[in-house]
Structure 1
């Protein structure tokens, strides 16, 4: 298995769970946040849904400078819109990987805010970190949903909500 095919397989595996999680985000709770330092449910969900789009950015650029690229959330108000946004980004990610030039995978990619450098790593590592970010933020989303008393789907097997305890 090549590095590229391993990345493609991992993307598909994680997409299944991500799709399940995003599909149960309640529209009437999007502005809820568990703590003032936490994102809102809307911001967190949108971030999970947008992360696949980072793969093309990493493959086609050498850096992201937050000072030159201010961030704004797309307008998303329902779980259907959220899943559609994820599917659009997932398709773009699949295409980016399918056409990726693996000879650039060792080239550095930098995340910064002006002069402050947060990280500078080989592109292949940043793609893996992007997948890890999807998993990390999806887990946060699971906690948010649990706090809202919403049953959580299983990720790598059944969740406590999927199991019947007799």
Structure 2
């Protein structure tokens, strides 16, 4: 099992493929400008995990531009991924003891709740035969003869 979940690994591979032929220019030690093959230009700051394409900030998954910058510094792509997508975070979430639900009658019920008389709401079924017409879906045309529907 890897450092990130398998779904995130697929997204990272897709981001890498989309920025394969892009050109990267160094701005500072941790900032880069990436010019894509279609002419778009994005600025990446690896120290703050920010990219002007907004994918890096919103998804907490490095965009292809950020991964190109990480490659030029020698930084692993996994280090740029948000903690919520790391396998270890998922393992730590479920590492504690999870107790099963107590059977009915074992938990004490407070007297204020036990003395309440809870009944279902008073409802009345409408008189007559229930409505048996369906609502036509999008694209269906209602015809006048025998209420048939044409698809």
**Which TM-score tier does this pair reach, normalised by the shorter chain?**
under 0.3
TM-score normalised by length of structure 2: 0.27
Which structure would you say has the larger RCO, counting Cα contacts within 8 Å and 6 or more residues apart? 1
Larger helix percent:
1
TM-score using structure 1 length: 0.25
Structure number with larger C-alpha Rg: 2
